Amino acid sequence: MAPSPDRPAYDDTEPDPLGELLTYLDLRPDGQDTFLGRSVPQVHGRVYGGQVLGQSMVAAAATVPPGRLAHSVHGYFLRPGDLEEPITFTVERLRDGRSFSARRVHALQFGKPILSMIGSFQEVQEGIEHAEPAPRVPGPEDLTSAVEQFRAIDHPLAQHFYRTFAFDVRHVEGGLFLGPAEQPTPAQHLWMRARGHVPGDQGRHRAILAYACDQVMLEPILRAHGLSWRRRGMSVASLDHAMWWHRDVDINDWLLYAQDSPSAQGGRGLGTAKVYTRSGELVATIAQEGMVRA
């Protein structure tokens, strides 16, 4: 699929970051309700939390009756993952009701869990509806692409991010990759979509949203305190993650993250996000607490 004029492309001679991501979400069955997965390479030397969360959703979804989609997951990141060690995903079938299925997934390395997640799946059903309206912010076409920023910087780390970022991210208030925000605030807005076409059903798109959102969920905490991802000596790690899907998600189209950080204390901070479609539909709500030490 050819990129649209405002979608940053990558050279055909370079790796396809989105295509590689999709291969990592394809788990290999390894017995009854057990699956094996690999890890996306990372410069910081540990497994990316969003990857394990997305893979856990894929494992759980493989055991539920057809037609049931994830509507909520709650996960705890328990240990840093080893990039070279395969991850074993074991699924426990907690319940299959008339409309809902519940599953518990443990992601294991060296016999110990690195993530524990409970997810709930529901058949598509009719019901009452309401949703908070989307905030009015500039569109993605009017904003700077983080991918293009990295592409223009002659530095090995920036070029690595350019080659490996599977998503185009555009901050309304300016990104935190190169330096802190001009005005510290616990709120931020950004647009995100895949750097290419994501095939597959709604279950895959929901798992990819879980993968993608982990990379920005703690940014409102940094923004509130005048910090950036370049701050020397800073230590940031996801502790837990909760996510609710309200409506269908299309990761191929722009999604608006309206984010906030209600509190930070004790070396921990809480980040929240409401995710909207380009047309203003609320599709997901997310909350994540992380360790943030500067």
* Contact call for residues 214 and 236 (beta carbons, < 8 A): no
Homologous superfamily (CATH) of 17-124+144-293 is Acyl-CoA thioesterase, double hotdog domain (2.40.160.210)
User: What is the per-residue pLDDT for 1?
Assistant: 34
Which DSSP letter does residue 135 get? P
User: What is the per-residue pLDDT for 2?
Assistant: 35
**Percentage of the chain modeled with pLDDT above 90:** 77
Q: Which residues have C-beta within 8 Å of that of residue 232, sequence separation ≥ 6?
A: none
Pairing relation of β-strands 68-77 and 28-29? unpaired
The residues assigned a catalytic role are 214, 238, 288
- What residues does each domain of the chain span? 17-124+144-293
The pair of structure tokens assigned to 94 is 């907690």
Residues of the chain with pLDDT under 70: 1-15, 157
User: What is the per-residue pLDDT for 221?
Assistant: 97
User: What is the per-residue pLDDT for 165?
Assistant: 85
User: What is the per-residue pLDDT for 14?
Assistant: 54
**Sheet strands side by side (includes 167-171):** 28-29, 34-37, 87-96, 100-109, 112-123, 68-77, 235-245, 282-293, 268-277, 255-265, 187-194, 167-171
Alpha-carbon distance 76 to 67, whole Å? 27
Alpha-carbon distance 270 to 262, whole Å? 6
User: What is the per-residue pLDDT for 15?
Assistant: 55
